[in-house]
Amino acid sequence: MDFRNIPPVKEQIMKCVRCGKCRSVCPVFAEIRNETAAPRGHVFMVQMLRDGVVEPNNEIYERLANCLMCETCSINCPSGIDIHELNAAARSYIYENNPSLGKELIFDTLWTKPGLLKTSTKLMWGAQKTGLQPLARRTGLTRLLPGDLGKAEQILSSVPARSARSQLKNKYKAQGEKKYTVGYFLGCGTDLLNPGVALATVDVLTRNGCEVIIPPETKCCGLPHIANGKLETARLLAIHNIKIFNMYDFDYIITDCASCSSALSRKNMEFLLGGLKIEDEAKLFADKVMDLTKFLIEIIDIKIPENGYNEKIKVTYHDPCHLANAQGIKSEPRELLKRIPGVTLIEMSDANRCCGGSGTYVLTHYDLSMKILDKKMDSIMETGAEKIATCCPSCIMQLKHGTKRHNYKSEVVHPIELISQAYNKPILKK
């Protein structure tokens, strides 16, 4: 698809009135006080790219790639410009003019084949266990990794031994009377980095009258590809997943990952597949997609059992950008936490500010990502919370790194893990 014909590029750029509202809310601009790092500057850059005033080269790509894709600018833009979409489309256009073998290996070969992705995660786990990873660090071998990967590999320092997929069946019956047939979209981050979240999701859904089917052919939701200039690969992944999930007669398609639910949303499907033959099939699919937190509140109206706690546990909640900004889901995760017996929710001062993880961003922009994370950790630590809850594997990974970095003794969890624990055993003993 020609970059110039993508709706945000074709129609929205001209609506920019240069008001600077986007700039005032951008977490990257707060760190790099330079117009080229600001969303307003990005809009202008994309316009110049579209009009052929600047060449689609790597220098422009790097400037656009400073953006976290957190969507804070887009939701604050009075002209309704999807600034992150403009940026993603431009990155893809530049990438197509400057392809890189490294990116093709990562995003086309590894990240489109779940088996290969799993094998590389296992290799990482093996390196930790055999002591090869610390050895590679001591000898400086990790400094040879591309971009900021050498610094960022410490983020991936606790890869679980077993994926969720290897511990789950493809189908689970509802406990008690069946109310819904649910397709569980098990994303790569939950599967490989947070398998406990997937087990908890299946546990809570089945306890609440859902038959859960986990299609084994599911592939990545495509969000890492969108952020890395691989729009065409993201389209192919979306088409694959639509075809797989549409083969079933699901009432809902549920995911516990904020990034996946935003990638599978109608808005993103329109961005990726609008005007293509598959558009109607994509809408059919996207209209069934719902984030787990919203499903448990709006559809299930979950009642979490009283286990007779007489102690309270302090939990604070961080809004993943792809849930709060991309989908407007803020109250549901909080409501879930409040419904867990024994939990006291303590708001941090800036729950809706990005943690700096943003999927692969921390791997490509480690130092900048850490500056943003440190601010987030300051507001988390002010709460004194014993647990930090959030709904995105990337945020979980980043905040775990933040707690280590600041030596803050607090566990980072997905709300569904606390709910599952409440069903199975008290969080705190009586």
Residues forming the site for ligand SF4 (CB under 6 A): 16-22, 26-28, 39-40, 42-43, 67-73, 77-79, 81, 83-84
CB of 99 vs ligand SF4, minimal distance in Å: 24
**Identity of the residue, 26 or 413, whose beta carbon is nearer to ligand SF4 in the bound complex:** 26
**Identity of the residue, 163 or 261, whose beta carbon is nearer to ligand SF4 in the bound complex:** 261
**Identity of the residue, 114 or 320, whose beta carbon is nearer to ligand SF4 in the bound complex:** 320
Residues 6+ apart with CB under 8 A from 140: none
CB of 44 vs ligand SF4, minimal distance in Å: 9
- What is the strand order of the sheet 387-389 is part of? 343-345, 313-317, 387-389, 411-413
CB of 430 vs ligand SF4, minimal distance in Å: 45
**Identity of the residue, 17 or 105, whose beta carbon is nearer to ligand SF4 in the bound complex:** 17
Q: Strand, helix or coil at 20?
A: coil
CB of 362 vs ligand SF4, minimal distance in Å: 13
Whose CA is closest to 296, among 259, 255, 238, 341? Answer: 255
Question: Cα dist. 277→25, 239, 282, 430 in Å?
Answer: 37, 11, 10, 59
**Identity of the residue, 18 or 303, whose beta carbon is nearer to ligand SF4 in the bound complex:** 18
244/145 Cα distance (integer angstroms): 36
**Identity of the residue, 241 or 325, whose beta carbon is nearer to ligand SF4 in the bound complex:** 325
Contact between 238 and 254 under an 8 Å Cβ cutoff? The reply is no
**Identity of the residue, 137 or 330, whose beta carbon is nearer to ligand SF4 in the bound complex:** 330
CB of 8 vs ligand SF4, minimal distance in Å: 11
CB of 122 vs ligand SF4, minimal distance in Å: 33
Contact between 354 and 67 under an 8 Å Cβ cutoff? The reply is no
C-alpha 281 chain-centroid distance: 24
Q: Strand, helix or coil at 277?
A: coil
CB of 47 vs ligand SF4, minimal distance in Å: 11
Question: Cα dist. 193→79, 134, 398 in Å?
Answer: 38, 20, 12
**Identity of the residue, 78 or 305, whose beta carbon is nearer to ligand SF4 in the bound complex:** 78
Whose CA is closest to 245, among 188, 286, 296? Answer: 286
147: alpha, beta or left? (left if phi > 0; alpha if psi -120 to 50): left
CB of 272 vs ligand SF4, minimal distance in Å: 18
The H helix count followed by the E strand count for the chain is 25, 9
